[in-house]
Structure 1
Amino acid sequence: MHDSSARPMERGSTDREQQARGPAKDPTGCGYVTRSMSDTATGSNEKRPSRSRWRSWIEWGLIVAFLLFLQFTPQGKQLLGLMQRGILATGLITPDIAFAEKNDVPASWDVHLESLDGESFSLEAYRGKVVFMNLWATWCAPCIAEMPYIQNLYEDVASEDIVFVMISVDESREAARQFVQRRGFTFPVYFPMGGLPEPYSTRTIPTTYVISADGQLATVHTGMAKVDTPEFKSFLRSLVRGDERL
Structure 2
Amino acid sequence: MDWKKEIKSWAIILGVFGIIYAMGWYAPIMGKLQSIVLSTGLIKPNLEKANEVGREFDYSGKFLDLDGQLVDLQSYRNQTIFINLWATWCPPCIAEMPHIESLYQKMKDNESISFLMINLDEDPEKPVRFIAKKEYTFPVVHASYGITPSLRHQSIPTTLVVSPEGKIIFRQEGMSNFDTEEFREFLLNGPDESN
TM-score range, shorter chain: 0.7 to 0.9
1:216 Cα deviation after fit: 1.2
For the pair 1:87 / 2:37, whether they are aligned, the reply is yes
Partner of 2:67: 117
**Could you tell which deviates more after superposition, 55-64 or 109-118?**
55-64
The DSSP-based 3-state class of the residue aligned with 1:199 is helix
Provide the C-alpha distance between the structure 1 equivalents of 2:92 and 2:52, rounded to a whole number of angstroms.
31
**Normalization by structure 1: what TM-score?**
0.71
The number of equivalent residue pairs is: 194
Counterpart-to-counterpart distance in 2, 1:205 and 1:67: 23
For 1:90 and 1:148, how far apart are their aligned partners in 2? 13
* 1:178-189 map, 5 Å: 178-189=129-140
Contact 2:53 2:171 in 1 (8 A): no
Q: SS at the partner of 2:160?
A: strand
Alignment of 1:139 onto 2:73: no
* Residue number in structure 2 paired with 1:221: 172
Structure 2 spans left out of the alignment, 5+ residues: none
- 2:118 is matched with 167
State the match for 1:193 in structure 2: 144
Distance in 2 of aligned mates of 1:192 and 1:125? 16
| Partner Cα distance (1:101, 1:191) in 2 | 25
Larger RCO, structures 1/2 (Cα 8 Å, 6+ apart)? 2
The correspondence of residues 1-246 of structure 1 with structure 2, limited to 5 A, is 49=1, 51=2, 53-98=3-48, 100=50, 104-158=54-108, 159-239=110-190, 244=193, 246=195
Q: CA 1:141 to 1:148, structure 2 compared with 1: closer, same or farther past 3 Å? A: same
Q: Which amino acid in the other structure matches residue 45 of structure 2?
A: P
Q: What stretches of structure 1 of length at least 5 have no aligned partner?
A: 1-48
The CA deviation at 1:197 is 2.0
AA at the equivalent of 1:232: F
Structure of larger gyration radius: 1
Report the Cα offset of residue 192 of structure 1: 1.4
CA contact 1:136–1:143 (8 Å) conserved in 2: yes
Aligned CA-pair RMSD: 2.3
Sort the Cα spacing of 1:79 and 1:162 in 2 relative to 1 into closer, same or farther, 3 A: same
How far off is 1:245 after superposition?
Answer: 6.6
Residues 66 and 100 (structure 1), Cα distance of their counterparts in 2 relative to 1, 3 Å cut: same
CA distance in 2, matches of 1:121, 1:133: 14
Deviation at 1:198, TM superposition (A): 1.6
Sequence identity (%):
34
How far does residue 195 in structure 1 lie from its aligned partner after superposition? 2.3
User: How many Å separate the matches in 2 of 1:153 and 1:188?
Assistant: 13
